[in-house]
Amino acid sequence: MTQVITAIVALTMTVGTLMSGQDLMDMMIRLAQVTTERFTLSQIGKSVVMNNAANGGVKLEYRKFHSFIRKNITAGGRDTSKDIWGTFYYLENKTYWKYVFPPRGDEFVVVSAGPDKEWWTADDESWMNFVFPDEFEKYRPKSTADTSSASAVMDKLNQFREEHAEKLNKIKEMLGMDDEGEEEERGDPPT
């Protein structure tokens, strides 16, 4: 157990003291935040779908949306009417990026302003209860290869692993792990 704690401390110090390691950790935190936000948006969206169905197809209105979220969604004590970055969610059930929803029907979108806290930018996260028509796709902001991109994070992880392979191998040795990340069988301890 002491060896494991020592290795974890060494790994934390190794990763945390390197600038690229700090950048990598920040990127992983942002990825976790975006992933959490996508899950929360999904929960909110599904709750709105159930609410609309229970009310005979009458769409939830924006003016009732935040109290609805607070009543129906929990998130570890934080105000669930706001995203993980502290901005209120937005519910749109009339038009989205120049696409006008039919007056009858269950089309809507729930939007988070994203990490930059600015509306209608490429880092916004959304949950749509409709299929966005191809001809309207040109009106939406294009995503960039930013911190919310899983492939960008994986590229950084692979780059970090290549740059620090020797240090990481030493840590694996200290932990008694093989290349697959499994603990090696050590047999009986020496007497």
pLDDT at 109: 92
- For residue 146, the number of C-alpha atoms closer than 13 Å in the C-beta half-sphere is 14
pLDDT exceeds cutoff 50 at 181: no
pLDDT exceeds cutoff 60 at 145: no
Predicted confidence (pLDDT) per residue in 158-168, tens digit: 777 778 778 77
Predicted confidence (pLDDT) per residue in 44-64, tens digit: 999 999 999 998 888 899 999
* Structure token digits, residue 40: 């929360």
Q: Which residues contact 191 (CB under 8 A, 6 or more apart)?
A: none
- 44: nearest Cα among 77, 63, 66: 66
pLDDT at 98: 75
Neighbour-count burial for 54-70, b at 16+ CB within 10 Å, e otherwise: eeeeebbeeeebbebbe
> What does the domain layout of the chain look like in residue ranges?
1-178
The amino acid at 122: A
SS3 134: helix
Predicted confidence (pLDDT) per residue in 40-49, tens digit: 999 999 999 9
What percentage of residues in the chain have a pLDDT greater than 90?
A: 29
Predicted confidence (pLDDT) per residue in 75-97, tens digit: 778 899 999 999 999 999 888 77
Positive or negative, the Cα torsion across 51, 52, 55, 61? positive
